[in-house]
Amino acid sequence: MVMKREVVGYTRMSTELIDENLNSSPFFFASANTSMLGKGIQHHFKQAIPFSQLAEQAQALLEQSKTTDCENPVLFGVVPFNQENPTQFIVPQTLYVSSSPRANGARHHNQSQAKVISSPTGGHYKQGVSSLLEMFANAGLSKVVLSRAVEVATDQDINQTELLHNLLAINAKGYTFAARIDDDSRLMGASPELLVAKRGNHLISNPLAGSRPRSMSEHENDAHRASLLNTAKDLHEHGLVVEEVERVLAKYCHNLYTPMVPSVIETETMLHLSTVLEGQVSDPSVSALKVAADLHPTPAVCGFPRQSAYDAIKKLEGFDRGYFTGMVGWCDARGNGEWVVTIRCAEVKSRQMKVFAGAGIVNESSPQSELDETGAKMRTILSAAGIQLNEHLTA
């Protein structure tokens, strides 16, 4: 069977393909200018493998999918935070591609009441931050990203098609995804963070670290932007991430350019310090996934040093992140691809949603402000789903 690729108009992608096929589709993925939806499954790989073997496994599937009519097939992937959890790769039977369907805008939805059905509470998260701050003094840690998960149950079915349209509308410059991860669960989200993209010989990465909640007041947002660029804690947290990304990219690139200072980008709910690193690959055959696997997990979602931070996360978080803070994206048989960090996301079932968020903890962190940050991040997907919580996310 040949993998078929079809370019369609963004209106057809939005009003026909997403609306009629999302529930049966293995994946949807969109960047700022392009969207893709898979239909049918030609090859499916689901297994826990070391991250160092991801590119090799993906290439093997792509080679199997090559035919004289399709010499450059495309593979979609969902990779977990922890390599002990299963990675999933899919080569679809048909890949529909369009320019961005964002022009069609958000969908109005019925507001759904929901209740929190999980613990731990915000107090547990703040205690974890306090414990980390004590560990920094003697554990050789510079940064740890501590996250939390909140499970909510809704009083009516979650309309995943409307949720996807709303995520597309609120994340115009970012990456939007919906991937089936098991029979009754879909990973959905709107990530602002590009782990790595490769187009021909050009490599680009856009790490984010250092955040403020976005306000309804533009005056407050101006103050937050200025604060991010002028606060030692945020600049230090961001610098740790950029240095590590630069170290990894330098192994693959020549003419690598890293801006000397960060800028500020904004999403619907957050402001972030951002640095865009760009270079030319020394070996044109290297896969985007090979570089992504070497970068993953960056200090933006794990910490620094990586292993010490990972050990602290395992000790303090108390839940399995699954695909949260993993990576999601695509690559083709020529090594081109886009891989983004799996944040601002949730595992979505018919009447249940597990929402994730984390914050980077460094020496100067405050437990309450870090808890507030996670609550603001969770609101991205909750508001897109029209979910109103009786409980407060930062209590």
Give the domain ranges of the chain.
4-100+111-389
Q: pLDDT at position 180, please?
A: 96
Supply the mean pLDDT for the chain.
91
- Asked if 251 is an active-site residue, the reply is no
**Catalytic site residue from 162, 193, 370, 373:** 193
pLDDT value at 390 more than 90: no
pLDDT band at 217, cuts 50/70/90? very high
pLDDT value at 326 more than 60: yes
- pLDDT one-digit tens code per residue, 14-63: 889 999 999 999 999 999 899 999 999 999 999 999 999 999 999 999 99
Q: Among residues 237, 174, 177, which one has the least CA distance to residue 364? A: 237
CA distance 88 to 79: 6
How far is CA 222 from each of CA 30, 146, 218, rounded to the nearest angstrom? Answer: 29, 27, 6
pLDDT value at 103 more than 60: no
> In this structure, are residues 312 and 303 in contact, taking their beta carbons and an 8 Å threshold?
yes
Q: Among residues 287, 284, 252, which one has the least CA distance to residue 62? A: 287
| Mean pLDDT score, 65-85 | 94
DSSP 53: G
pLDDT value at 160 more than 60: yes
- Asked if 193 is an active-site residue, the reply is yes
**Catalytic site residue from 143, 290, 354, 377:** 143
Q: pLDDT at position 106, please?
A: 60
CA distance 10 to 30: 11
Q: Say if pTM beats, i.e. exceeds, 0.85.
A: yes
Please give, one letter per residue, the 3-state secondary structure of 315-361: HHCCCCCCCCCCEEEEEECCCCEEEEECCCEEEECCCEEEEEEEEEE
Q: Which residues are CB-neighbours of 268 under 8 A, at least 6 positions away?
A: 170, 171, 214, 380, 383
pLDDT above 90 covers a percentage of the chain that reads 76
Q: Helix, strand, or coil here: 291?
A: helix
Class of domain 4-100+111-389: alpha beta
